[in-house]
Chain A
Amino acid sequence: DGGITQSPKYLFRKEGQNVTLSCEQNLNHDAMYWYRQDPGQGLRLIYYSQIVNDFQKGDIAEGYSVSREKKESFPLTVTSAQKNPTAFYLCASSIGGPTGELFFGEGSRLTVL
């Protein structure tokens, strides 16, 4: 079955540690996205990538980094520079362009202890 897989679903880290969230898709989609969601809030765009080896900052990129070495994979690293990293992180992918083919992963919930 085609889809997007995010892992881990739950993650705990200590302050000062970097952590990487995985996002893998087998839909052959060109575009991939990372969003952050705080409790009771909407989705804010962190980074997005339209094609392999290319990505752009979203609205809240500070303290995060990404890579897009393969079409299927778009990992997000939450660095120690991110001051308030506890949040719910969602990955999405689309075929590209304004079409209706857009899918989300199930999300990763990060808690900093």
Chain B
Amino acid sequence: AQKITQTQPGMFVQEKEAVTLDCTYDTSDQSYGLFWYKQPSSGEMIFLIYQGSYDEQNATEGRYSLNFQKARKSTNLVISASQLGDSAMYFCAMISGFQKLVFGTGTRLLVSP
């Protein structure tokens, strides 16, 4: 069965520092995709970054990058140079096999001045 695990309910970081949000996954499929979404208090889901299981290089999108370790089944999100506007819920998600998209329970990030 597919499963996403985010073990950090909340994280704190000071402005301009980097922060890593953890995510591990479980699937028996060889082909899958991993996503990170940001959800501010307004409720919308904002796409941040994507990593395919066959991508050899770690994905990067601006200040967001993934530390993708396939053998350990982990895909941690690194946010560099944190900004106050980064305060939000962050969700890791996976799509595989029969296109069932599953989410982790999320990590609440708070960036302080």
Contacts and interface: CB of A to CB of B under 8 A. Distances in A.
Interface of A: 31, 33, 35, 37, 41-45, 48, 50, 56, 58, 88, 90, 92, 94, 96-100, 102-104, 106-107, 109
B19 interface: no
A42 B96 CA distance: 19
B31 A104 contact: no
Instruction: Name the interface size band of chain B.
Output: 20 to 34
A96 B99 contact: yes
B81 interface: no
Interface string B72-113: 000000000000000000010101101111111110000000
20 contacts: A33-B101, A37-B43, A42-B91, A45-B100, A48-B101, A56-B100, A92-B45, A92-B101, A94-B99, A97-B99, A98-B29, A98-B53, A99-B52, A100-B35, A100-B52, A102-B95, A103-B47, A104-B37, A104-B44, A106-B43
Contacts of A43: 91, 93, 103
A90 B100 contact: no
Contacts of B33: 98-100
Given A42-B91, A100-B52, A102-B35, A94 B44 contact: no
A56 B97 CA distance: 14
Contact of B105 (A41, A98, A104): A41
User: Would you list the 4 A-B pairs with minimal beta carbon distance, nearest first?
Assistant: A100-B50, A98-B33, A104-B45, A42-B105
B101 A45 contact: yes
B32 interface: yes
Nearest to A96: B99
Contacts of A92: 45, 101
A106 B40 CA distance: 12
